[in-house]
Homo-oligomer: A and B are copies of this chain.
Amino acid sequence: MTRRPSRFWLPALLTAAVGLWPVLASAAAPGHAGSVDPSIGTGGDGHTFPGATVPFGMIQLSPDTAMPDFKHAYKWAAGYQYGDPTIMGFSHTHFSGSGHSDMGDVLVMPIAGDVKLDPGDPTKPGSGYRSRFSHATEVEHAGYYAVTLADYGVRAELTAGRRVGWHRYTFPKDKPAHVLLDLRPSIYDYPGKVLWARLRVRPDGTVSGCRTTRGWAPGRQLCFAMRFNQPMVSRTLYDRETNVVYKGFKGPGNQPQDHDAENGRALEGVFDFGKLKSPLVVKVSISSVSEANAIANLDQDGKGWDFDARRAEATAMWNKALSSIDVSGTKTQQTQFYTALYHAMLSPTLSMDVNGEYRGPDHEVHTAKGFDFYSSWSLWDVYRAQQPLMVLLRPDLSTDFIQSLIAAQQASPFGILPVWAYQGLETWCMIGYHAVPVIADAYLKGVRGFDANAAMKAMVASATYGPYGDLADYMKLGYVPIDKEPEAASKTLEYAYDDWSLAQMATAMGKTRIAATFDKRATNWRNAWDPKTGFMRAKLSNGQFRTPFDPTYAGYGSDYTEGNAWQYSWYVPQDVAGLITAMGGDAKFDAKLDELFDAKVDPSHFKNVEDITGLIGWYAHGNEPSHHIAYLYDYAGEPWKTQERLKQIMETQYAARPDGLSGNDDLGQMSAWYIFTALGFYPVTPASDQYAIGRPFVPKAVIHLTNGHTFTVVADHLDAAHPYVGKVTLNGKPLDRVYLHHAEILAGGELHFTMQATPNRSWGHDLAARPTSMSRYGQ
């Protein structure tokens, strides 16, 4: 028996037809969304996805070209690699630019004609349901993606709302149309990854289900609901698992087969629509909580059937989000800038259903009261520049982000803030407790609307939880001992910075005892400093540095996290002056920076460490530990060298093409670095109020702040022949320091650069002109 869905879509169509969607008109209005090229980063190591999403949206609906075994999956962390010849389907969850990965949930493939049930070999088009495609047929915009699936002659278009992914499939009129749903594959796949799944077709034609996977966040459940704008003529649900040890009473004579509902580890559904005269619209919602919530999300956030209206709405959302900054410049400059801003606004992602429910790190369901719960926290990356960029541009969202972090801490079985979390769950990826500087940076820059005491409690809990990353020994010894804990030098350095940021906020809140404790801990970087070798190193529990020592070695068993001594020895953002002194003063510091950038390094040196890419000497722009380094010349009185290095980095590490990111975008951190650097300043030390000034890369940028003020950056004579900053004025007055205060930006005004052909060696050279460090905010 096949149940026909009731024609529930008819009233919806009528509703849409009478024009409930005025946004359609406004979406045609010009905006920066048109400057976004989502293909940037989809080749090489960028790991971005080309599909459709809205700012910080729960749904990232994107084509997947392959989902290999996790051992070979690094390149496919976003499911799509530009060089691939086939698309296996469109799935609804992705990370933008992550190194490790997961997701690829609710994979949907439109099929015209005969249905194959397996995706087939990516290297053998035609071997499965995957289809060949040509980049020439792709259209990629912020909030919209289209491609023609050559094997089926299907034009596939995607757009998205906050919680709903929209597909429009135009099938050839002479072939039966099918939609295949495959709940088996996922990004970073392996046999057994799907722990359990369920799938059903409801009497009204809604398809819904859930699956629990053992991926990066093990035991992750994701549910979904899916509707079609035309009635199915039939459908089949499959449980493709073979060699089942224990079947219970699943089988002939007991559980109804291929009807209405299935549960198992290898579920698929094929939904048949016959020959279609008009495009099939499919809308899909997700929920980390339940099928019922996914349906509620679809009901509330996915009204009607007007794909074009939804696309216009997505465009409008992007235009609004990107309107924070108006930049002038060439088309390529605009494309690079707005694509970077787009990439910087993809995470954290909404991870809450329309009823406020979300899943927390305890795997339990919670309800957000008075805020939106966001997840996808690549904190080791985004605390550096992406979150500070949001504090600058979107303090309203920062409030929600911080409430989300606090809520996650309160629901954590460990009582600590997220480390690397998504869909509410913890992955334990990377090091540090960098939610601490995210919160401190926001608080110290005036973001409010969250419970600061609860935040402080969460921060202290995270910084004192002994079992995490050997904080127990760190608190006892003042450093993380490498004989107890891997990557100990990186941990000591990053903990010390996190501690400093905590102390800054504690001070601002008048919590002097906490401040004193963490100010002291902030100096722990000195316990990693080896004056003999001139590098940061890991010590053993007995206080001796571990030997042998190779400052170029990175990888398994090293003192560092995705880096070597050359890359990590600069990580004292809270006390660059102290680091300069330790390194022997300005000249030696400066020379060592030069040595870093100018080293001759065999590119194969890091072939076993996936994330260390974008090399300039030992400097690795493709990974985060390097991101602040080019700005450090500022602190040694040589800002012209910062300007030189930034030019070198901007020219070699970013380009407006699919392989235009030299490393993983890391949930917007690579892109946020680009935005700040293009504007001419960078938050070397989040949670301080200072931005180190580099040099602008756009002739003019107008930042529209949420307080109603406007901060404009102008660069006169900006071109390839004028790469150096000559003079700088702020609101017409000469600025003789190489840093800005956050409050100066918030107040609005104009930062005016005059670029010149040769270095200005005197500007910013005086000690008083340099960015300070270890300073109290506002002092």
Contacts and interface: CB of A to CB of B under 8 A. Distances in A.
A370 interface: no
Contacts of A248: 215-218, 427-429
A365 interface: yes
Nearest to A195: B195
Interface string A597-627: 0000000000000000000000000000000
Contacts of A469: 253-254
A245 B191 contact: yes
A190 interface: yes
A560 to B, nearest CB: 12
Contacts of A100: 249
Contacts of A261: 362, 413-414
Size class of the A contact interface (CB-based, 8 Å)? 35 or more
A109 to B, nearest CB: 24
Contact of A254 (B193, B365, B429, B465): B429
Contact of A428 (B254, B365, B420): B254
Interface in A645-702: none
A467 B257 contact: yes
A301 interface: no
Interface in A425-447: 426-429, 431
Interface string A196-215: 10101011000000101011
Nearest to A290: B364
Contact of A290 (B196, B219, B260, B365): B365
A433 to B, nearest CB: 12
A530 interface: no
Interface string A219-252: 1000000000000000000000000011011101
A214 B196 contact: yes
A413 B200 contact: yes
Contacts of A254: 428-429, 469
Contacts of A245: 190-192
Contacts of A431: 253
Given A195-B212, A261-B414, A413-B260, A249 B365 contact: no
Q: How many copies does the complex hold?
A: 2
Contact of A414 (B218, B256, B470): B256
Contact of A253 (B200, B253, B264, B486): B486
| Majority SS at the chain A contact face | loop
Contacts of A466: 1
A292 B249 contact: no
A477 to B, nearest CB: 15
A415 interface: yes
Of A248, A414, A465, the most chain B CB neighbours within 10 A belong to: A248
A659 to B, nearest CB: 28
Contact of A196 (B70, B203, B212, B364): B212
A495 to B, nearest CB: 13
A777 interface: no
A303 interface: no
Nearest to A199: B413
A260 B363 contact: no
Given A210-B363, A365-B290, A413-B200, A255 B428 contact: yes
A468 interface: yes
A705 interface: no
A341 B468 CA distance: 55
Nearest to A255: B428
Contacts of A210: 363
A567 to B, nearest CB: 18
Contacts of A190: 245-246
A754 interface: no
Interface in A54-102: 70, 100
A218 B196 contact: yes
A290 B221 CA distance: 14
Nearest to A258: B467
Nearest to A223: B364
A200 B250 contact: no
Contacts of A428: 248-250, 254-255
Contacts of A246: 70, 188, 190, 193, 214-215
A472 interface: yes
A260 B362 CA distance: 11
A494 to B, nearest CB: 13
A78 to B, nearest CB: 18
Contacts of A365: 290, 292
A299 to B, nearest CB: 16
Contacts of A195: 195-196, 212
A594 interface: no
Contacts of A394: none
Interface of A: 1, 70, 100, 188, 190-193, 195-196, 198, 200, 202-203, 210, 212, 214-219, 245-246, 248-250, 252-261, 263-264, 290-292, 362-365, 413-415, 420, 426-429, 431, 465-470, 472, 485-487
Given A260-B415, A292-B365, 20 more contacts: A1-B472, A70-B246, A100-B249, A188-B246, A190-B246, A196-B214, A198-B219, A200-B413, A202-B413, A217-B248, A218-B248, A218-B264, A248-B427, A248-B428, A256-B414, A256-B467, A257-B467, A260-B413, A260-B467, A261-B413
6 contacts: A1-B467, A195-B196, A198-B219, A212-B212, A248-B429, A249-B428
